Amino acid sequence: MSPRAEATRRRLFEATMRLARSRGLAAVTVDEIAAEAGVAKGTVYYNFGSKDGLVEALLRYGVDLLAGRLRAPAADPDPVAGLADVVDAALVFMSEYPGFSQILVSELWRGPGQWQATLLPLRENIVSVLEDQLRRVAEAGRFPEGVPLRTAAAALFGTLLVVALDWLVFEPERSREEVRDSVLTLLAARAQ
C-alpha cells in the first residue's frame, strides 16, 4: 500500500474513532466519516467497500497497534516490572485512542453482534499477550499457583479498558501514573 493510501486510511480510522466516541459506532454514517476525515464519500467505499468494511479494518488496525504496544515492554527481565510496563503501555494507548477503546468496550461485550466474528480473534490476540506476561510472572514464582492465567489475562484486559475509560471520562485530572498504580495495586494482591 502506498504511503498516501495508508495516510488516507489512517485519517478515516481516526475520524471514525472520534465520531464513535461521542455517539456510538452504529449511529455514525459514511457521510459523516468522510466529512470528518476531509475526504469524499467515495473514498470510504474505494478503500473499504462499505462502512462495515471500514469498521472491520479499523478493529484490526487498532488491535494490532495495541498488541504491538503491549509486546514491547513485556521483554523487561523482571517480569513484574514488565507487567507494570504493559499496564502503562495499555493506558497510554487508551488515552491516545479513547474512541477505539470505547468501540472495544461496546462491541466486545455486547454479545453476538455485527462485528463479533472479527472481534473474537482480535480479543484472543490481546488476551494472549497479557497471558504470556502473566505466565512470566508465575514462572518467577510471583503469582499464586492454580489461578487460571487465561482468565486472569481476560480480567486484566477488561479492567484496563474500563479503568482507562473511567479515568478519561470521569477523572481526567488524575495522572496516568496514578491510574497505573491503582491497577497495579489490584494486581499486587495476586502478583507478589
Q: Is the pLDDT of residue 190 over 60?
A: no
> 191, 183, 186, 187: which is closest to 164 by C-alpha?
183
Distance CA 38, CA 18 (A): 13
* 102-131 confidence digits (pLDDT tens): 888 877 777 677 777 888 888 899 999 999
How large a percentage of the chain has pLDDT more than 70? 96
Q: Is the pLDDT of residue 73 over 60?
A: yes
Rounded to an integer, the average pLDDT of 22-29 is 81
What is the per-residue pLDDT for 18? 86
Rounded to an integer, the average pLDDT of 29-49 is 94
Contact criterion met (CB below 8 Å) for 62 and 115: no
> In degrees, to the nearest 5, what angle opens at C-alpha 90 toward C-alphas 84 and 96?
135
Count other Cβ atoms within 10 Å, centred on residue 63: 20
Q: Is the pLDDT of residue 52 over 90?
A: no
DSSP 74: G
What is the per-residue pLDDT for 74? 66
Distance CA 37, CA 61 (A): 17
Q: Is the pLDDT of residue 90 over 60?
A: yes
DSSP 189: T
What is the per-residue pLDDT for 188? 78
Radius of gyration (Cα) for the chain, nearest Å? 18
How large a percentage of the chain has pLDDT more than 90? 53
pLDDT classification of 192: cutoffs 50, 70, 90:
very low
Alpha-carbon dihedral sign for residues 107, 41, 22, 5: positive
Domains of the chain: 58-188 (1.10.357.10)
Distance CA 83, CA 74 (A): 7
* 2-19 confidence digits (pLDDT tens): 888 889 999 999 898 888
What is the per-residue pLDDT for 39? 94
